[in-house]
Every structure is written in structure tokens, then in C-alpha cells.
Chain A
Amino acid sequence: MARRAESAGQTMSQPMLALEEVCASYGAVQALKGVSVHVHAGEIVTLIGANGAGKSTLLMTICGDPRARSGQILFDGQDITRQPTHAIMRGGIAQAPEGRRIFPRMTVMENLIMGAEIAGHDPARDLEHVFTLFPRLKERATQRGGTLSGGEQQMLAIGRALMARPRLLLLDEPSLGLAPLIAKQIFAAIRELNEREGLTVLLVEQNANQALRLAHRGYVLVTGRITLEGPGRELLSRPEIRAAYLGGH
């Protein structure tokens, strides 16, 4: 796959995705209070934080739902802050939403096809690509989505997002509710996508340990504000991170 393959962290030029001082709220509750996050092409960037810190809101705000109250979101230098959700998702960003949200009564095949439909390209090549990445999905191709196990559903959610040939993949807690071994497989697949195809990934995770190991860079979000930022391994070694997110050992 001919995807952009600059090596991580070295493109100091224009970031692929840039959030500048973004504020967002649900009604009167302000969820993001001026967040700035940059993701460069070819990077895996992770966003960690406690429950309710605003991690998922940040991913959803990139997609325009809820819309940013102030600040700016740039994708490839283009302002997407005011674009409608469906237009943003057609422009090269794909999301595997929190809780997987596959279509339970549609088959695995149909779920995957839905991902490619809007992009309008022939899905055959992308199907092959997803099936090589997750061979399990090929075995299950004619089953209903709702009959898959949690891990398979997560594979399906990621596979469905990949079908649109995105340049930036947004992943919202892909390890949620999965057995540790399965979560590991999912993370391995994300790494493979990034290393082999240069796919840029913005990953939101509660599982800070694995996420920071995987990511090139990480951000720590606390009640709607970025409090720390740095290379994944470096964050992992900081005592305050270990204390707050890794159970103190």
C-alpha cells in the first residue's frame, strides 16, 4: 500500500493533524479547555488520561461532533473545524469508535463494505488487505457482526475504518473490555499498520502502559487540559505517570 511513510518524529514540518487551543462542551459542561495536540505523518500518538478527562471528546471533536466552541483543527493544513462530520470523515480520517459500534445484524462482509462505500473505490483490494491483517475476519465473513467475540468485533471495527483508505486513523480505546492477550494482538496489529504502511494513528487509551509502549509520543489529558507531553517511553518512566495511571508500580 502506497501510504505516506516518513519516519516518526522527524517531520518537523507541518503536522498532519493539529488541534490549536480547542475548547468543546456538552451543554454547560466544558469537556475540553483549550487543548493543543499535534500529530505528524507516520506517527503513533497516544492520549492517556483518567475516566472523564475528555479523551473520547477530543476524538469526537476532531470529527465535528461535538463541534469545537473555539480554537482550530487543521488536517493537512486545511481548516476542518467547521466542516460537517461526513465531510471530515471522507477527507482521509477514519475512526474506530469507542465500544466498537459494529453493525450487529449485518454480516462481517457488509460491515467492511460499509467502510469503503462512501469513499467510492472498489473495495476488493481493501478487503484483501483487511483479511491479511486479521485472518480471523475472513473465516467469519458470512457471520453476523453481533455474533463475533469482543476481540473479533474490535478487529472488525478497525478493519471497517481501514476500508476507507484513511491517512489518519483515530482509535478510541481499542483494548476496552478485551482479555489482555487479545488486547496485545490488537496493539500488534496497530504497530504493524504503522511500521509497514506508515499509517498515522491517534490512539486514545486507558491502558496507559501498553499505549505508551506502542506510541512514539504521548499526551496526558487531565480534566480537559493537556498536562504532559513527550515521547512514549519517556512518559512511561516518569514517576507521576506511573503513580497516576500505572497503579504505582
Chain B
Amino acid sequence: MRFRLALRDAAVTGLVAAGLFLPMVALRTDVAPNGALFLRTRWSDAAILITLAALARFVLVLWLGRRIPVASTASPWWEEPLRRAGKLLTPLLLGVAVMLPFIPGTGRYELDLGVLVLTYVMLGWGLNIVVGLAGLLDLGYVAFYAVGAYSYALLAHAFGLSFWICLPLAGILAGFWGVLLGFPVLRLRGDYLAIVTLAFGEIIRVVLVNWVSLTNGPNGMSGIPRPSFFGLPFNMSGEPDTFAGFFGLEPSPLHRVIFLYYLILGLALLTNWVSIRLRRQPLGRAWEALREDEIACRALGINITTTKLTAFALGAMFGGFAGAFFATRQGFISPESFTFIESAIILAIVVLGGMGSQIGIALAALIMIGGFEVFRGLEEWRMLVFGAAMVVIMVLRPRGLVSSRTPTVALGKRKAISGSLVGEGHG
């Protein structure tokens, strides 16, 4: 009985696979040496793939029965150990993050990767204020990242201001753009808001590409000043007014990387600290209430306008900080770096982490950005493996990696509430 079922299932899977692989793998147009197009057929490759798919399905059905993975609200067995491990996870991750430059075996590559991951952690935490807390779906977050980066580059070029003066200015300017975006979209929610923010992100990018006299267009801006250690530049000369010379160290190019690493770690932790503090205050609670029910918020006398605008402004501000950091780290920026895919990645980090969870977002950034790097060896299979990994995560944990939520007020002890108790988005 099971055998027949498995056979039938394998046949169906084979058919589906044939439908996919015959046009995509078996038939392929190539360019002949004389420049003409010709059709190359690869029947054997396609046949192997189809057989593999059917065989895999056959084995799977025989082994597991016809169990379809479903998202259930029951706590699976791994929930409890995971929660216990989760308590240790935050201090552990923080410890590793702080100690990373001094862990033996950490080289230039690991530090650069750490900087990259932390940049996305910070962007994720910044976007989380808008999407996770206030529930305003923003598909154009990269615009604020771009505003921050270009603010720093332009201010440094035009006025010769140092990184430490430009950093807050970039944040303020990005926050200002957040308010500017906020006004027209005050009345929008959900899908409509997503479309407008998506367009906003593109507008910023297109302006950067076309305003050549200011931004140098698609060629980008280079020669952006590198950050100094509170006035002490990093270079290899070893003179007393450089970082290495001042502290009597052997000049090393690693110093700047370590400094950048701690800089972004500090910025990310600042974002985290501000979000956590705000969540426990009236404004943060108003954001969360706004996410839950806008009409109820109005009935309670919450000023929707200012609540939304502050969410946009604060989220944008942290995006701007991250952008300024990005500019000073790269030394070169161009509109290429601020395409829609960046917004999508940041949003994916927030969603994958479990909207509103700080540690979840940090984990998701580590998995997403670290994953990109780890799978680099797989070359063209990278996106496939990566996509599969994301599907698996969403099947196993449909509400994100960390779906529990700590209440902002409690009688006595604070107790996290499992996300399983209510469905996504509704009661």
C-alpha cells in the first residue's frame, strides 16, 4: 500500500521535475564560435536530475509516509531546550562579538566579515523600529542608508568635516528624510505603504545616479576620508601623531580594521539599547499598539501622526548612522550599493529574526550574511542552498527564529510569552 503510494508520488514528482528541467536544463542556447546562436541539448543531464528528484521523493514517502510539513501551533520537542539555550545565547554572542579581534585565528578576513555582519545587524535593528515595532512595512529602507552614506561623503568633501562630526549629521539628515517620507504615507498601511516606500527607495537611488554634478552619478564618490582614532590617523608611518605611534605599537593595517569593527559594534549596540529602552516607554508601547490596531490607538488618544513620524525618523536615523559608517569603511560609494536587493535583505533579516525580537534579528543577520560567505565555495549552487535554508527555517519556525515577546510591563516577574499562543498578525 505504502509502496504503491510512494510509486505514484514519485511519478508525479518526476513529471513536475521534467516540466522544470526539460526547458531549463535539457535545452540550452549557446553562442557558436562564429557568433551564431545554436541549440545545445543536454538530455542526459536533465534525465539524471529528473530521476534524482523522483527517487528522492520515492524514498521520502516510503520512509516518512505522506507527511506534509505544516506549520503547527503545538510546541515541538526542540522548543524547550532551545529556550533554555536561548537564555545563554545573548551573553555568549555578545562575549564573542566583543572578544572577536583577540580570538586566536581571527585574521583580516574574519574581521571584515564581522564588520559586514554587524552592519546588517545594525540595519536590521534600525528597520525593526519601523517594521517590527510600529508595524509599518518599509521596502525602501536602503534609501536612508544611502542618505547617510552620501551625507558623510558630501560633507567631508565639501567642508572637510571629520567623521565624528559627520556621523551625527548623517543620522540627523537621514532622520529628516524619514520624516519627509513619513508625511505622505501617514494614511497608508500594509501593501500600499510597501509600494510607496519601495518607490521612495528607488527615487533616492535614481536621483543619486542622475544628479551628476553633486554626486558624480554612477561613477560614485571616491576618496572619502577614513576615520581617525579621535584625531589620530591610522597609517604605517609610525610617527607619534598616528595611532600606532601614539600608543607605541607596531604599525599594522589591522589596527584600522579592528577600530572599524569596534566602531560598528558600538553603533549597533547603541541602536539596540535605544530600541530596548524605548520599547519600555510610552512611545515604544504606542508603536506596538499602533502595529496591533490603529483605530484602537486613536480611541485611546494616541496621536497617530507623531507616533508614526517618530518611528520613521528614528529608524531612518540609525540607517543613516550605518550609511555613514559604510562610506567611511569603503572609502568609495556609488548608487550601485543602494539597490532594492539591499532593502530586501534587511527586511528578510527582520522577518526571519521574528519581527520585534532583538536577538532574533542579530541571529538572522549572522545566518543571512554569514551564510552568503560560508556558501561561497558552492559557487553557482549558493543561491539554491541559501534559498532552501530559508524555506526550511520558515517551515520549522513560521514566526521567525525568536518569536516570543517580553512584555514591557508586568506584575512581579517578567515572563516571555511564546509566539505560539497567537497567530501572526492576529489574535
Contacts and interface: CB of A to CB of B under 8 A. Distances in A.
Nearest to B293: A101
Contacts of B293: 101-104
Interface stretch (A17-25, A141-149, A188-196, A210-218): A141-149
A113 B285 CA distance: 9
Contacts of A118: 282, 300-302
Interface residues of A, number: 38
B253 interface: no
Given A104-B422, A144-B421, A109 B407 contact: yes
Given A104-B292, A142-B407, A97 B299 contact: yes
15 contacts: A86-B301, A87-B301, A89-B299, A94-B299, A97-B299, A106-B285, A107-B407, A109-B410, A110-B288, A114-B289, A141-B411, A142-B407, A142-B417, A144-B422, A146-B427
A45 interface: no
B207 interface: no
Closest 9 CB pairs of A and B: A146-B427, A89-B301, A104-B427, A103-B292, A101-B296, A118-B301, A146-B422, A86-B303, A95-B299
Chain B: interface residue count, which band?
20 to 34
Interface in B271-306: 282, 285-286, 288-289, 291-293, 295-296, 298-304
A113 B409 CA distance: 8
Given A96-B299, A109-B409, 12 more contacts: A65-B298, A85-B298, A86-B301, A94-B300, A101-B299, A109-B410, A109-B411, A113-B285, A113-B409, A118-B301, A144-B422, A145-B427
Nearest to A98: B295
Contacts of B282: 117-118
B292 A106 contact: yes
Nearest to A116: B300
B407 A110 contact: yes
Interface in A178-200: none
Interface of A: 63, 65, 84-90, 94-97, 101-107, 109-110, 113-115, 117-119, 141-147, 160-161, 164
B415 A142 contact: yes
Task: Specify the main secondary structure of chain A where it touches its partner.
Answer: mixed
Interface string B287-327: 01101110110111111100000000000000000000000
Contact of B417 (A63, A85, A94, A107): A107
Given A89-B300, A105-B292, A114 B285 contact: yes
Given A103-B293, A104-B422, A117 B427 contact: no
A105 B302 contact: no
B405 interface: yes
A106 B415 CA distance: 13
A109 B299 CA distance: 18
Contact of A103 (B296, B409, B415): B296
A105 B299 contact: no
Interface in B55-101: none
A84 B304 CA distance: 11
A63 B409 CA distance: 28
A127 to B, nearest CB: 9
A105 B410 contact: no
A219 B277 CA distance: 48
Given A97-B295, A107-B407, A141-B411, A147 B285 contact: no
